[in-house]
Amino acid sequence: MTGKNRLLDVRGLTVEIETRRGPAVIVDGIDLHVDKGETLGVVGESGCGKSLTMLSLMRLLPNKIRVAKGEAHFDGRDLQKMSNRELRKVRGGDIGFVFQDPVTSLNPVMRIGDQLAEPLIYHRGMNRKQARERAIELLRLVGIPGPEERIQAYPHELSGGMRQRVMIAIGLACEPKLLIADEPTTALDVTIQAQIVDLVKGLREKLGMSVVWITHDLALIAGLVDRVVVLYAGTVVEDAPVDALYASPRHPYTRGLLASIPKLSDAPASRLNSIGGTPPEPGRRPQGCPFAPRCPLAMDICRTHVPKLEPVSAAGSHRAACFAVEKALEAA
Amino acid sequence: MAAEPLLKIENLVKHFHVRLGAFGERAATVHALDDVSLDIVEGETLSLVGESGCGKSTTGFTILNLHRATSGKVLYKGQDLTALDEKRMRRFRRDLQIVFQDPYSTLNPRMTVGEASGEPILFHNLAPKAELEAKVAALLTDVGLPPRFASRYPHELSGGQRQRVAIARALACQPKFIVCDEAISALDVSIQAQIINLLLDLQEKYRLTYLFIAHDLAVVRHISTRVGVMYLGRLAELASRDALFETPLHPYTKALLSAVPETDPEHERSRKRQILEGDVPSPLAPPSGCRFHTRCPIAMEVCRRVVPKWKEARPGHLVACHAVNGE
């Protein structure tokens, strides 16, 4: 399956957290890949490991959390084996990041122009004047009015939507091959969210970059991504082209998630098909399939064995990790 | 509307006086709520939507007298709540409850679930102490928690379970009306659906009236009887759920609806969004005339000067917009 087209290839990534009772697995052997020019949506609820997975690629994990196993190849090189010096060249250079909360991610005592110029000077060897001009260009690119004056502003002088645009501009500063956006619109209002989604769509085409969009919102990414990876309790439960995922979700968790979202066609005040129970706490995963305790289709085998991510479509592009799905396919 | 409304809100205004500048040298006024009038009918779910700072939460707080109204009236059972002092208000608190967004900060971490849910019963003298345990068990069952949870502490619960406890607390004194202030916004999608179902079940069982404050329009469309759209402290539009979502009149409502994504990739890729330019202006200095005119795609000269009237454009469909003709 690996071709020249593969930009990011993560295999068997396992992340552990140190606890008093010894190491606990919070990301359990995740496989995922992103092709050149592709936009991948990574979906899951809080605590499923979606942010940690992406942070671990860049070795930006907080204290006491570490990568236990796994490889992550970016453009043919293993990120986990790079020296810190090499990795610094990749961070913010070939891989751009946009975090959820611009308030904590931007430096409050630095003018936004300087924060934009920093990666350009570091990664692209620009001088201050060039970097300043490029910073103005970038602010214009992300739709900030009056960029010549705005580069003088401090983060607190901007609105939430504007700050998130600045974050995106920083992420894009060095024209990365890959942009990783971690819930970039979660803190924003819906009309501003629409602006940001439109902005990233436009820039992706203009710059030809790949995008990983991490989110909990299946509706938000429907029109934005090419493929979706669904995470549950630190494992990939389904990986599918976007149309296939929404039209025929195979994993019971994905189905439950989609059914939980109110739709236009619902009768007013009808009951939603919610998933019972709550996700396991990180580090307290049940034996067998992590979704089994909440799964309406759970069988005996689900409680003892962990299902592998296996193709469920003829083309093999749609994969799910579920024993019940295999059963359904065999029966069909 | 034939029935007498449960709550009648008339020309409600809430201004906050703040001090700005590093030394608080400049006085300013936040126009959080300006001239909001609406009726809340018994048994309905009236939702208020809008973006941050639009005044939807302030409306809920001011109705419950948690914020003192600057002017205007809130009529409940013929009594103007805004005229009551805290002591006389207490009698009405039994009937008028609230559930907040973040149950982690609203529940006392040192009180067990049982103590927290039983507190309102004791406070309002609704049951003798001997019956308290049974009452609490019934309450917890009502909100879908096993009665043995009574001895647990909030930190032992998940977010969804904590929100159930917060709902149990609100239910404890058998209220008529509950303000749900972003009550499901902090929850994960699968848990959110559980809590929505719970709220719907309880409404049916106890004939509750909800003021549902939210920014998630998909959820609002699902549970509401009527929906009000707010922008920068004013009501822009108020209509039945179907009228609002199918034939919105106000340009802001239209833009808001067009920004809501659906779980349908094909539809999402092909749909033309009407994207609003810019940000919501500061409530410290709201624009003159119609507050939406700075971002409105069809703004006219009059919109800059004159505040549009709150008028009934169609039966039961109210709107404040110069571009919409009343009947």
Domain limits, chain A: 93-209
Report pLDDT for A115: 94
Which pLDDT score, from 0 to 100, does residue A313 have? 85
Among the partner-chain residues A145, A216, A263, the one whose CB lies closest to the CB of B188 is A216
B59 vs B96: CA distance, rounded Å: 14
Given B218, B224, B264, which is nearest A222 (Cβ)?
B264
**Strand order in B96-99's β-sheet?**
B96-99, B177-181, B209-213, B45-49, B226-231, B234-240, B317-319, B311-314
User: What is the predicted pLDDT for the residue at B1?
Assistant: 47
Nearest to A45 among B188, B219, B261 (CB): B188
pLDDT one-digit tens code per residue, B144-181? 999 999 999 999 888 889 999 999 999 999 999 999 99
Distance from CA of B126 to the nearest CA of A (A): 31
Q: Is A90 left (phi over 0), alpha (psi -120 to 50) or beta?
A: alpha
Q: What is the pLDDT of residue A329?
A: 53
Please compute the mean of the pLDDT values over residues A292-321 and round it to a whole number.
91
* Probe site for chain B from A166, A190, A221, A237 (most B CB atoms < 10 A): A190
Average pLDDT over residues B135-143: 95
Measured between CB atoms, which of A216, A266, A269 is closest to B189?
A216
In chain B, which residues have their Cβ closer than 8 Å to the Cβ of A243?
A: 265-266
pLDDT tens for A253-287 read: 999 999 998 877 777 777 888 888 888 877 678 88
CATH topology of domain A93-209: Rossmann fold (3.40.50)
Q: What's the CA gap between B157 and B117, in Å, rounded?
A: 14
Q: How far is A79 from chain B (nearest CA, A)?
A: 32
At A332 the pLDDT is 43
Using one digit for the tens of pLDDT, what is the confidence trace for B248-282? 999 999 999 998 888 899 988 888 888 888 778 88
Q: Is the pLDDT of residue B193 over 80?
A: yes
In angstroms, the CA B259 to CA B218 distance is: 11
Our measurement of the distance from residue A313's CA atom to the centroid of its chain's CA atoms, rounded to an integer in Å, reads 24
**Do A278 and B266 count as a contact with CB atoms less than 8 A apart?**
no
Provide mean pLDDT across the span B230-234.
95
Residue A69's SS3 state is strand
Q: Which domains does chain B have, with CATH numbers?
A: 5-319 (3.40.50.300)
Pair B139, B117: CB distance under 8 Å: yes
Residues of chain A contacting B192 with CB distance shorter than 8 Å: 260
**Residue A331 predicted with pLDDT over 60:** no
Q: What is the residue-averaged pLDDT of chain A? A: 89
**pLDDT over 60 at A252, yes or no:** yes
Q: What is the mean pLDDT of residues A69-76?
A: 92
Q: What is the mean pLDDT of residues A57-64?
A: 88
Number of inter-chain CB pairs under 8 A, A vs B: 133
- In Å, how far is B42's CA from the nearest CA of chain A? 16
Strand boundaries in B68-194, DSSP class E: 71-76, 79-80, 96-99, 177-181
Q: Are B181 and B100 in contact (CB under 8 A)?
A: yes
Percent of chain B at pLDDT exceeding 90:
73
Q: What is the pLDDT of residue B46?
A: 97
Q: What is the pLDDT at residue A103?
A: 79
Q: Band the pLDDT of A300: cuts 50, 70, 90.
A: very high
- In degrees and rounded to multiples of 5, residue B247 shows phi and psi of -130, 65
Tell me the pLDDT band of B142, cut-offs 50, 70 and 90.
very high
Tell whether the torsion through CA atoms of A157, A162, A168 and A169 is positive or negative. negative
Nearest residue to A311 via CA among A289, A331, A293, A329: A329
For residue B98, what pLDDT is reported?
95
Strands A95-98 and A178-182: what pairing? parallel
Q: In this predicted model, what pLDDT tens digit does every residue of A211-220 receive, in sequence order?
A: 999 999 999 9
| Residue with tokens 């990041």, as numbered in its chain | A97
So what's the pLDDT on residue A328?
52
Q: What is the mean pLDDT of chain B?
A: 92
Cβ of A279 and B200 within 8 Å?
no
- Closest CA–CA distance from residue A265 to any residue of chain B (Å): 9
Q: Is residue A327 scored above 70 in pLDDT?
A: no
pLDDT at position B22, please? 78
pLDDT score for A258: 92
How large a percentage of chain A has pLDDT more than 90?
A: 55
